[in-house]
Chain A
């Protein structure tokens, strides 16, 4: 039986088994949100406010199952954070295999689009919704070797700005948060010297912190933030 109080906000976060996603899940649990998280792998924590779903988000059917669960058992969705992303190959664009391109787009672009599509359907019921798509400073810096990852994040920027215009009337906002480099498994794959060079182009030439990300998301998901939409917010002075 679902004993969730009616006023408890529900947040869906993708990629909660590690990195920023894991941090955000725990952050919003601590703030009293009902958090639904998903990732390929299970998580090593549990909480009465947390539900984890193992899913391969590059498969549409897995995403539909997540929403089936939300529609049937939770019955509402207030916030979606599309956090999960992969960066499997930091290599010259001239050497990218087709399957790597395809898989990266399925995870970084198609999946967030499907999560948004289904979220909008749920959010319109309550005439309220907040969608956060995670971007990257790579979209601004255009770093050699990052053509694939950068193009997925730039596609997500464009998608988010158009979606924001489509759903504004339904009380739904859509924004992109593009953090500076944060020490995670994903950023660990990048050559530290190259990363330092890219960071040196920012106003703040240092790694960002997890709470930089949660701080701005806290603001964007407030009910009062209804006028902030279609924005790509770069952290770190990119």
Chain B
């Protein structure tokens, strides 16, 4: 599964509901959480939820992205599209191992 492509599909879907100044760029460096992000807290919830949903549709398995490890990591996986992608890849690899 191309995780980056999946995240971009979800960003496309999210952007449909966001105003011109709130659009999230399909870029690995896009910030998804914090003051520099165009997403507010519910926007981030939507992003995570839609990604979890897409993974479940594609694999039949529900994988919680916002798990305890994610919350306790020194470098949050919810910082940029790139960090999120890398974290999801780790979760998928572990699930499939």
Contacts and interface: CB of A to CB of B under 8 A. Distances in A.
B46 A71 contact: no
B53 A124 contact: no
B42 A167 contact: yes
A86 interface: no
B42 A170 contact: yes
B62 A64 contact: yes
A125 B48 CA distance: 12
B30 interface: no
B40 interface: yes
A68 to B, nearest CB: 6
A159 to B, nearest CB: 16
A166 B40 CA distance: 10
A170 B46 CA distance: 10
A5 B39 CA distance: 34
B56 interface: yes
Contacts of B52: 121
Interface string A48-75: 0000000000000000100010010000
A68 B64 CA distance: 12
Given A64-B62, A124-B45, A124-B49, A71 B56 contact: yes
Interface string B38-64: 001110011001001100100000101
Contacts of A68: 62
Contacts of B42: 124, 166-167, 169-170
A120 interface: yes
A166 B41 CA distance: 8
B39 to A, nearest CB: 12
Contacts of B46: 124, 170
A169 B49 contact: no
Contacts of B62: 64, 68, 71
23 contacts: A64-B62, A64-B64, A68-B62, A71-B53, A71-B56, A71-B62, A120-B45, A121-B45, A121-B49, A121-B52, A124-B42, A124-B45, A124-B46, A124-B49, A125-B49, A166-B41, A166-B42, A167-B42, A169-B40, A169-B42, A170-B42, A170-B45, A170-B46
